[in-house]
Amino acid sequence: MALGVLPLLIAAAAAFMLVRFFMFVFSKPSSTNPFEKRCTAEIRPKVIDQKQRDQVLKQGFSKDKVPKGLDAIVIGSGIGGLSTAALLSKAGKKVLVLEQHDQAGGCCHTFIDKGYEFDVGIHYIGEMHYQTESKTYLDHITNRQLEWARLEDDFDEVVFAEKDKEFRRFPVYSGKRNWATSLKKHFPNEAAGINKFFDLMDEVRSSNRTAMWVKFIPLWCVKILETTGLINLFTNFYKWNSLTVRDVLLDLIKSQELRDILCYNFGDFGTPPSKAGLPMQTLLHTHFAEGASYPVGGASEIAFHIIPVIEESGGKVLVRAEVENILLDSESKVCGVKVKKGTSSVHVNAPMVISDAGVYNTFKKLLPVEVASSSNLWPLFKRCDSGPGCMSVFVGLDCSAKDLDICHRKNIWVFSGNDIDKLTLNYLNMTREEAENVDLPLVFISFPSTKDPEWDKKYPGKTTMALVTFLPYEWFSDWENERVNKRGDEYESIKNVFGYKAIDQACKLFPSIKDHIDYVSVGTPVTNKHYLAAPKGEIYGLDHTSERFSLWNNALLRPKTDIPGLFLTGQDICSCGFAGALWGGFLCTGAILQRNVMNDLTEYHRCITSEAGLKKKC
């Protein structure tokens, strides 16, 4: 008899959970709709004068600049923090954003040195050259001031550069199935497997949004869904996540080279194919399915146009404001933050704190250990680690791009051989001394200045190149506590070994650049720790393994924490990169307002994209 009752109990629990879910989805709360007021501003001319830009991007922290009567404080000015603050501002909230670096933007900032400007993190973004919901959302929080330049149709190119062999090049095309058609020309015997892989991309994409609602239902409901397998009635995301990219490709594709091509851009989330679940790879491909774009004027345009939106409701974005601790009252409820100011500190009070500093920094650095360790998120740190460390090399070339034989408005992914999963893992498991004597397994090459139509107005006769690869943090950890630019000759020598390996690889592909290298700056994982507060020099937050996106862990990584008044935003909440962090900010806003902002955005998007909508007030 007990066995007969169990299914009924499970069904009852599932029904209750669904009622709670649909109450959330279709409720009409009293909180303000952040998309209620439509922005009709015309695009203004670009601000080129750096002093004017610094007045927005580099507002230094001081106690007298802190607005009175704050509704919330955001730690970190990455796109997750800025987007949350901007949406809350659109809902009438007064928000203070605090950034430890000397300018706002996180990975969206740029730096200028020796007459060159470099973008540190934005290389290309999908879904921005036509009116997707993502673009509508970003347009809204920038008051429609952000413009995008589309890259070439073959926006990426995969290059296999093995020693003593000719380079093998494979373009990646935008447009539905164009890439698949190209691949079938190169690999005619793999047509069936290629078709199946592209069908899987469509299938997994449709399941992504439904996978996100586990971040809003009670955790006991999630446990029931996990234990009973009922989650598969609502989404197949977790079924596919249990399979790694490598395993799926082994089943579909016979050619190792084609397998490598189909997961070539795993570097965009940093997890090798044997550790990443299928959804992460397919969602990345679908993000770029219709092409890629670059922000006109450079990445700093993003923060430059979001900050005024935050200020519209009385908020501020202040830099050189290192948050030392999240403050709690006697009942362990968040009540503000402590900001380092010289040799002293300043307490800033607010009833809510939103952390864009990543879950590791938030729980292992900013909260008292007795509070952090009692959170339901604490056990997650045993199961999920930070992503791999990253090295970036910034190169200035003393001539115009039109005088160089380089790729324009696209990216190159260079691999030192086939089986890129094995190559990458073997390399990351080497000692630093071993790695100094072998080729980098992966180098991402980009010429950002060719992507920006405004570049020549600011820097005529100059070109920039950016190179990115992965290096373990441990190789440089001996210098983690040394002052930036003061780490000594040994550190400089070691980082240049790896930096110039990447440059040499670029010179082999583009020999014309060799005699025009005018500036080189190498950023290692400890550089990332200093400027981005990345605990292990990572640029993508938590490692994007299949374990990280399992049902239970995905549900735990929710915007609203179990510490009253503390919320999380950014790429640890959704996924990495600009788009992932942007949507992390969106989910966080919904949790704070206790409102289904997805419905709000969908209606707003429908309104501005329909002819009828353009004729009526939206």
The answer on 309 and 367 residing in a single domain is yes
Q: What percent of the chain has pLDDT over 90?
A: 88
Amino acid letter, 107: C
Q: How far is it, in rounded angstroms, from Cα 473 to Cα 219?
A: 34
Q: In angstroms, how far is CA 527 from the centroid of its own chain?
A: 18
- Report the candidate in 361, 366, 435 with the shortest Cα–Cα distance to residue 106: 361
Specify the DSSP class assigned to residue 275. Answer: T
Of 228, 260, 290, the position where a domain reaches its end is: 290
Q: What percent of the chain has pLDDT over 70?
A: 94
Which of 20-29, 274-283, 561-570, 593-602 comes out lowest in average pLDDT?
Answer: 20-29
278 domain residue, yes or no: yes
Q: In whole angstroms, how large is the CA radius of gyration of the chain?
A: 24
Check if the beta carbon of residue 87 is closer than 8 Å to that of residue 589: yes
Q: How far is it, in rounded angstroms, from Cα 63 to Cα 346?
A: 7
Q: pLDDT band at 3, cuts 50/70/90?
A: very low
**Which pLDDT value is given to residue 135?**
97
**Which pLDDT value is given to residue 618?**
46
pLDDT of residue 504 exceeding 80: yes
What is the 3-class SS of 130-192, one letter each residue?
A: CCCHHHHHHHHHCCCCCCEEECCCCCEEEEECCCCCCCEEEEECCCCCHHHHHHHHHCHHHHH
400 domain residue, yes or no: no
Q: For residue 206, what are the contacts with CB-CB under 8 A and spacing of at least 6? A: none
- The 10s digit of each residue's pLDDT in 346-365 is 999 999 999 999 999 999 99
Using DSSP's 3-state secondary structure scheme, residue 266 falls into helix
Average pLDDT for 196-224: 91
Containing structural domain, residue 205? 175-290
521 domain residue, yes or no: no
Pairing of strands 156-160, 411-415: parallel
Q: For residue 515, what are the contacts with CB-CB under 8 A and spacing of at least 6? A: none
The answer on 261 and 190 residing in a single domain is yes
pLDDT of residue 591 exceeding 70: yes
Neighbours of 371 (CB within 10 A): 16
Which of 70-84, 210-224, 256-270 comes out lowest in average pLDDT?
Answer: 210-224
Torsion of CA 26, 27, 31, 35, to 10 degrees: 10
CA dist 120 to 248, 265, 485, 554, Å? 33, 18, 17, 28
The answer on 193 and 277 residing in a single domain is yes
Which of 64-73, 175-184, 303-312 comes out lowest in average pLDDT?
Answer: 175-184
**Which pLDDT value is given to residue 31?**
84
pLDDT of residue 397 exceeding 50: yes
The pair of structure tokens assigned to 138 is 């970003």
The answer on 307 and 286 residing in a single domain is no
Q: pLDDT band at 14, cuts 50/70/90?
A: low
Average pLDDT for 312-317: 98
For the chain, give the mean pLDDT. Answer: 93
Of 244, 268, 290, the position where a domain reaches its end is: 290
**Number of structural domains found in the chain:** 2
- The 10s digit of each residue's pLDDT in 454-499 is 999 999 999 999 999 999 999 999 999 998 889 999 999 999 999 9
Q: pLDDT band at 206, cuts 50/70/90?
A: confident
The answer on 375 and 336 residing in a single domain is yes
Average pLDDT for 228-249: 95
Q: pLDDT band at 29, cuts 50/70/90?
A: low
pLDDT of residue 22 exceeding 70: no
pLDDT of residue 21 exceeding 60: no
Q: pLDDT band at 205, cuts 50/70/90?
A: confident
565 domain residue, yes or no: yes
- The 10s digit of each residue's pLDDT in 509-551 is 999 999 999 999 999 999 999 999 999 999 999 999 999 999 9
The answer on 324 and 232 residing in a single domain is no
**Which pLDDT value is given to residue 20?**
52
pLDDT of residue 568 exceeding 90: yes
**Which pLDDT value is given to residue 275?**
98
Average pLDDT for 554-562: 98
The answer on 279 and 254 residing in a single domain is yes
14 domain residue, yes or no: no
Of 290, 325, 344, the position where a domain reaches its end is: 290
* pTM given for the model: 0.94
554 domain residue, yes or no: yes
314 domain residue, yes or no: yes
pLDDT of residue 179 exceeding 80: yes
312 domain residue, yes or no: yes
The answer on 281 and 199 residing in a single domain is yes
Torsion of CA 602, 608, 609, 614, to 10 degrees: 140
The answer on 263 and 310 residing in a single domain is no
CATH value at residue 316: 3.50.50.60
The answer on 333 and 373 residing in a single domain is yes
The answer on 374 and 353 residing in a single domain is yes
What one-character-per-residue DSSP string does 378-433 give?
Answer: TTHHHH--B--BEEEEEEEESS-GGGS----S-EEEEESSS-HHHHHHHHHTS-HH
The answer on 304 and 244 residing in a single domain is no
pLDDT of residue 413 exceeding 50: yes
